[in-house]
Amino acid sequence: MQSAFAQSNNISRFFPYPWTVDSLTNGLRLVTVPTEHKNLVAFYIVVRAGSRNEVEPGKSGFAHFFEHMMFRGSENYSSEKRDAIMKKAGAESNAYTSDDRTVYHALFSTADLEKIMELEADRFQRLKYSEPDYKTEALAVLGEYNKNSANPINKLEEVLRYEAFATHTYKHTTMGFLKDIQEMPNEYQYSLDFYKRYYRPEYCTILLVGDITRERSFALTQKYFGSWQRGSYKPEIPVEPPQKQARSASVDWPSPTLPYLVVAYHAPAFSDQKKDKAALDFLVPIAFGENSELYQRLILKEQKVDVLDVSFDDQIDPELFAVIARVKDAKDVNYVRDEIIKTFDRFSKEAVTQDKLEDTRAHIRYSTALGWTSAEAIAGFLAPYLAISGTPQVVDRVFALYQQVTARDIQDSAKRYFSPENRVVVTLATKAKEETK
């Protein structure tokens, strides 16, 4: 095999499937995971460019925008021709954008792999769209933003990020700032530059999971992506300075809604080497999950809250550990906020019991493994890890780290990150009606 880099793991410690990683000389990575799912293959292309990469002022939202543009047609395949080929193959095809990545995925019969790989190679190397088509899609993205903005949860996240981050690009959501989206129709030339920067082999990983061999995967990847030219662009992602005092904000919602609040703390980035992030992962179910004391009390016993959720993803750079609550009565917002803060404080002062630690450790492992029910589910699980590290080996590393986490590790991490000066609180409630004179 003409591979600049090859890696394999036929007997894994946690991830049970054999896998190989090959790197082409142009920097493109290929990950092949043969499974028992006969005559099906999940085909993913993970682009290591998300809203995190939008470093230029006034240019937020373009990673998500390109998720749209990539379905507009390419040099050799119009959007109509592409749709016809995918329909004939019975392929399920879609994409999503996050802070750290844009992921294109499809599920289809193994027999159709070569044709669909040819199709994908064309749009990744030769995307083609006119300025009128670009402007039409830009208006569609604005419409999507307006639709999403009708949901108070989305507005809550938008304000939280804006308040929590001063310099890092996590300050804006994947949709981008409204003023930038409104300006998008005038940024046709910049859109071409964005594509040339990030839709390059060194930013991409092809993932094939299912009824497939490494030999065929590599041969087809070399055939259709081997001549793809490497780029040279490297963004300078700003480093977020430490937060020095607690921050808060409130949102006046224009229509009737139950009040929402989010309590968040700056937290560590993903790591398969340091325990900080892995230790705090245990507190997602222990402190705030459905079996937690706080959940049982606020939702079931006191019935003051009807939604209690946690957001704490694996991300390239330090992000937020956020707890979101929807409160049934406005008079209880401050009480619920204080109880959430007390829960964060509690786990920085006392250690979890050994029984709770072991139960949670087992739950993390088994609930993860139970999700691998199909080739598509396995590929979907791997994609975020590949965006961070480029290899499935990181799965074994991080789950080995979970095995090493102690009650003291959890308490130390909670004490390190859940301090008042590291906190951000945002509330959202229906705007009070002005009193008539």
Residue 409 shares a structural domain with residue 287: yes
Contacts of 32 (CB under 8 A, 6+ apart): 19, 20, 22, 208, 212, 213, 214, 217, 218
Give the model's confidence band at 435: pLDDT under 50 very low, under 70 low, under 90 confident, else very high.
very low
Give the model's confidence band at 436: pLDDT under 50 very low, under 70 low, under 90 confident, else very high.
very low
CB 59 within 8 A of CB 180: yes
- Asked if residue 232 belongs to a domain, the reply is no
Residue 213 shares a structural domain with residue 271: no
Looking at the predicted structure, is the pLDDT value of residue 392 above 90? yes
- Asked if residue 268 belongs to a domain, the reply is yes
Residue 57 shares a structural domain with residue 174: yes
**Which residues is 249 bridged to in the sheet?**
426
Listed residues 190, 225, 260: the one ending a domain: 225
Give the model's confidence band at 11: pLDDT under 50 very low, under 70 low, under 90 confident, else very high.
very low
Residue 118 shares a structural domain with residue 171: yes
- Asked if residue 386 belongs to a domain, the reply is yes
- Asked if residue 230 belongs to a domain, the reply is no
CA distance 8 to 27: 18
Quick one: pLDDT at residue 437? 39
- Asked if residue 46 belongs to a domain, the reply is yes
CA distance 408 to 351: 6
Listed residues 167, 194, 225: the one ending a domain: 225
Residue 167 shares a structural domain with residue 278: no
Quick one: pLDDT at residue 431? 84
Residue 286 shares a structural domain with residue 168: no
Number of domains in the chain: 2
Alpha helix segments (H runs only) across 150-187: 152-164, 178-183
- Asked if residue 182 belongs to a domain, the reply is yes
For the domain that residue 127 is a member of, what is the CATH number?
3.30.830.10
Residue 20 shares a structural domain with residue 163: yes
Residue 165 shares a structural domain with residue 308: no
Cα dist from 324 to 163, 267, 270, 376, whole Å: 16, 16, 21, 30
Residue 150 shares a structural domain with residue 35: yes
- Asked if residue 65 belongs to a domain, the reply is yes
Residue 219 shares a structural domain with residue 253: no
Q: Could you read off the pLDDT of 27-66 as tens digits, one per residue?
A: 999 999 999 999 999 999 999 999 999 999 999 999 999 9
- Asked if residue 240 belongs to a domain, the reply is no
**Which range marks the domain in which residue 138 is found?**
5-225
Looking at the predicted structure, is the pLDDT value of residue 302 above 90? yes
Listed residues 192, 225, 258: the one ending a domain: 225
Average pLDDT over residues 160-181: 97
CB 93 within 8 A of CB 66: no
Residue 206 shares a structural domain with residue 324: no
CA 246 to chain centre: 26
Residue 337 shares a structural domain with residue 192: no
CB 284 within 8 A of CB 363: no
pTM for this predicted structure: 0.94
Contacts of 399 (CB under 8 A, 6+ apart): 13, 14, 15, 364, 365, 368
